[in-house]
Amino acid sequence: MADLPESAQVVVIGGGVVGASVLYHLTKAGWTDAILLERRELTAGSTWHAAGGMHTLNGDPNVAALQRYTVQLYEDLEKESGVSCGVHLTGEVMLADDADRMDWLRMAHARGRYLGMETELISVAEAAEKIPFLVEEHFVGALWDPVGGHVDPSGVTHAYATAARMAGAQVHRNTWAHDVVQRPDGLWDVVTERGTITCEHFVNCGGLWAREVGRMCGIELPILAMEHMYLLTEEIPEIRPWLDATGGYGIGAVDFGGEIYTRAEAGGLLLGTYEQACVPWSERETPWDFGSQLLAPDLERLAPSLAVAFEHFPIYADAGIRQVINGPFTFAPDGNPVIGPVRGQRGHWVACGVMAGLSQGGGVGLSMANWMTTGDPGFDVWGMDVARFGDWTTPSYTRAKVMENYSRRFSISFPNEELPAARPLHTSPIYDRLDDANAVWGSSYGLETALWFQQDGAEPIEDVTYHRSNAFDVVAEEVHAVRTGVGLIETTGFAKHQFTGPGARALLDRVLANRIPAPGRMALAPMLNHDGKLIGDFTVATLADPFDGAETFLVLGSGVAEGYHERWFREQIASHLADGGGCDGDVNYRPLGTELAGLSIAGPKARDVLAAVVGPTSPSSGGTGSDVSTDAFAFRDIQRMDLGMVPAIVGRITFTGDLGYECWVPTSLQQRLFDLLMEAGEPYGIRLFGLRALDSMRFDKGFGGWASEFRPIYTPAESGLDSFVALTSSDGSDRNFIGRDAAAAARAAGPERRLCTFTLDDGGTPTGNSDDGTTESGTASDVLGDEPIWHGGEVVGWATSGGYAHWSQASCAMGYVPAAAADPATPPDAFEIEVLGVRRPVTRRDEPLFDPTGIRMRG
């Protein structure tokens, strides 16, 4: 056995398909001083018994893109390593059992267009030509994916490892990393029985043991293993002609309704199941002595799935079962991989929770290697980033969500669906009041958030659908109440990052792309990475202590990105305090989470409501007194104010695009403030509104949102935020914020694509039928996001979000198209967006539909 080196640039812990891929991609990116440690033999976790199936299709187009990369990689990998991956691209038929599933397939098909995927919607009869043993009456249509198939999991893992070794990396088998310790100099000691390796970076690819590796460093990763079964039949002579006609390997099928998948294997068939009565494995701790073992099959648990299989594919009823494989593999609460740098632990990376290692492993390895070597994953990995989970993802939460996710593995996810497991978790103090008002709840970053308020006497439940739901008319009323009077919405779910200390202003000036406002003011501020890509869009507010002038900065942003931004802020604080970086003095940073509660009032009567409750706060103590007129309290002002007995921070800003205020108070005062505002608002007909109405009103204004319009793959120039990027200080000198040079260059070159707002010419009710003729015209539906945008008969871009702007009475979409197509000189009307299979004419809108001059907001 070769000696273990004492140091390396990077140590990868775990030799499953994911660890091997990470190692391979690191060497490709030039990091060859890399060592992989495997406790036993390569593949000795989940990988060795995987069924080897691979698919390019995924509900999240960004994950689909990485899956496509993985599948396409295998040919090159085989050539490079000389090791066979056993690739069989048989193609796959995705079978829809009802109209909703067909909508989902249509959506996935359309989304695939701008990824260059060549899927095809086919009829049941065409599906039966590919899978001759299916019973047509159980299905309504299908999607054909020519790129699906299966591989040899062990071959793939060894091919990655061999190619990495050839490039200079080392692979040490039978080497258990039993501890990982951060040293005072920031490097990591990976401790094994064969010695300790000191490294700059280590990657936790521990698969079934990733939780245990995380615990070595004091973190609890939100992953849990589930038992998973598939069975192999004896040879089935009847399928021989089908095998011969398809080159020997048949064609794969996914039966979504039956929650089963099937393909040919060794002259027989393979049937995999996602049972409803699913079972977690090793809930608390994965035993280190678990090796390449199988779990005992549980035929009783399989029985309901087998019954469906016998009905949908009767050939199974007469086939002898050769073997049942039962093995564990890990899932995250939402079923996506968990990858990226760990918050607050520089050099600690994870790539785990990869539940489809053979489809996703390559893409995960590539983005990890990009991220580690350049600081940017190079793909949109928002949906896989470990930072999407926070401290609320305890093991019990993870268990509930993973079980929900497993049992729904092939179920349809509707765009307006809120899954019930592990809820409610965090609730704000006014939860009961909003619940009494018939709130329909959603959950965001662990916090219950009111989506809309159902009418009295009706069940507070939203019908899940790809079309318009029962929320439509009620949300219209909420919007109307805000636009014509005043509404109140809870904003506790926003992220609130607080910075104080003598170095805080300089730090924020380095981290944010806009100038940091003077005390009492707010500014919109994008945040960029070193490549000038958008990694945050915030409202930054400055408050000064009335006695000593010490500044407090509140950086308000997207709630779901709280952990993502916290990670970046902590990283920047550490590096700037370490190297001076223009940041003198200490910075105290704290994400306030649910410690600070928010309520916002908006609409033309909002000022009257505020005036009715504001007390005589002395202007000398930083307040405005009771004068909240525009002269005394202008758009983007922020002040401490006493509202009744409640000391609050009040900012004149709102996402509704109307007159409005956000009020922030300690959580213990939120109920008091809520009652006060509701009482004061009564004469003005104040009405509660939720996130759905807020979303509708942002379309009136063409305001983008984080995670849809604003993501780390866009620049400010593309996304319309360039006017909030200040290259110079107010004295004209150059600013030195992160991403400045890239932003300046992008501005000088002009963007290649631009974010635009569109309205559907049909108002939301299509007049054409879908490609496959199964979507009838006349059923109202709006753009959901990720649909292809056509221009001049070609797909030129994609929608980022869509919905109905009730006040403007327009079905809206936002999306990116080439800059030339976005140019006002280009006619606005040659565009189409493909919604649920129907290409619907849309018109580009070059100015907001509501209040284009902004007088309502500013006046």
User: Which residues of this protein are in contact with ligand FAD, per CB under 6 A?
Assistant: 13-19, 37-40, 44-47, 49-54, 176-177, 205-209, 213, 228, 230, 325, 327-329, 352, 354-359
List phi, psi (to 5°) of 577.
-70, -30
Whole-number minimum distance, CB 234 to ligand FAD, in Å? 19
CA end-to-end span of the chain: 76
Q: Which two tokens stand for residue 132?
A: 């001759």
261 or 816, CB closer to ligand FAD?
Answer: 261
Whole-number minimum distance, CB 23 to ligand FAD, in Å? 11
What single DSSP character describes residue 800? E
292 or 729, CB closer to ligand FAD?
Answer: 292
CB atoms within 10 A of CB 185: 6
354 or 541, CB closer to ligand FAD?
Answer: 354
Whole-number minimum distance, CB 669 to ligand FAD, in Å? 46
Whole-number minimum distance, CB 205 to ligand FAD, in Å? 6
**CB 137, CB 126: distance < 8 Å:** no
- Between the alpha carbon of residue 557 and those of residues 372, 427, 524, 526, 561, the distances in Å are 26, 19, 10, 10, 8
CB atoms within 10 A of CB 437: 17
**CB 459, CB 470: distance < 8 Å:** no
CA distance 18 to 364: 7
Cross-strand partners of 499: 553, 589
54 or 833, CB closer to ligand FAD?
Answer: 54
52 or 623, CB closer to ligand FAD?
Answer: 52
Whole-number CA gyration radius for the chain: 28
> Comparing C-alpha atoms, which of 159, 73, 787 is closest to residue 360?
73
Whole-number minimum distance, CB 742 to ligand FAD, in Å? 34
Whole-number minimum distance, CB 300 to ligand FAD, in Å? 18
49 or 640, CB closer to ligand FAD?
Answer: 49
> Comparing C-alpha atoms, which of 9, 60, 40 is closest to residue 207?
40
Whole-number minimum distance, CB 105 to ligand FAD, in Å? 20
13 or 368, CB closer to ligand FAD?
Answer: 13
CA distance 9 to 33: 5
288 or 792, CB closer to ligand FAD?
Answer: 288
Whole-number minimum distance, CB 278 to ligand FAD, in Å? 13
List phi, psi (to 5°) of 589.
-120, 140
Whole-number minimum distance, CB 413 to ligand FAD, in Å? 19
Residue found under tokens 């309901």: 304
258 or 503, CB closer to ligand FAD?
Answer: 258
19 or 91, CB closer to ligand FAD?
Answer: 19
CA distance 26 to 48: 23
What single DSSP character describes residue 83? -
Whole-number minimum distance, CB 54 to ligand FAD, in Å? 6
**CB 414, CB 468: distance < 8 Å:** no
CA distance 48 to 325: 11
Whole-number minimum distance, CB 151 to ligand FAD, in Å? 8
CA distance 497 to 275: 42
38 or 782, CB closer to ligand FAD?
Answer: 38
CA distance 594 to 734: 37
Q: Which two tokens stand for residue 771?
A: 């490609």
175 or 393, CB closer to ligand FAD?
Answer: 175
Whole-number minimum distance, CB 310 to ligand FAD, in Å? 21
Whole-number minimum distance, CB 242 to ligand FAD, in Å? 21
Residue found under tokens 């590539």: 366
Whole-number minimum distance, CB 359 to ligand FAD, in Å? 5
357 or 526, CB closer to ligand FAD?
Answer: 357
CA distance 596 to 665: 6
**CB 132, CB 93: distance < 8 Å:** no
Q: Which two tokens stand for residue 43?
A: 């593949």
177 or 402, CB closer to ligand FAD?
Answer: 177
What single DSSP character describes residue 823? S
> Comparing C-alpha atoms, which of 572, 585, 420, 445 is closest to residue 504?
585
Residues 6+ apart with CB under 8 A from 373: 26, 29, 30, 31
Q: Dihedral sign for Cα 94, 96, 101, 104, please.
A: positive
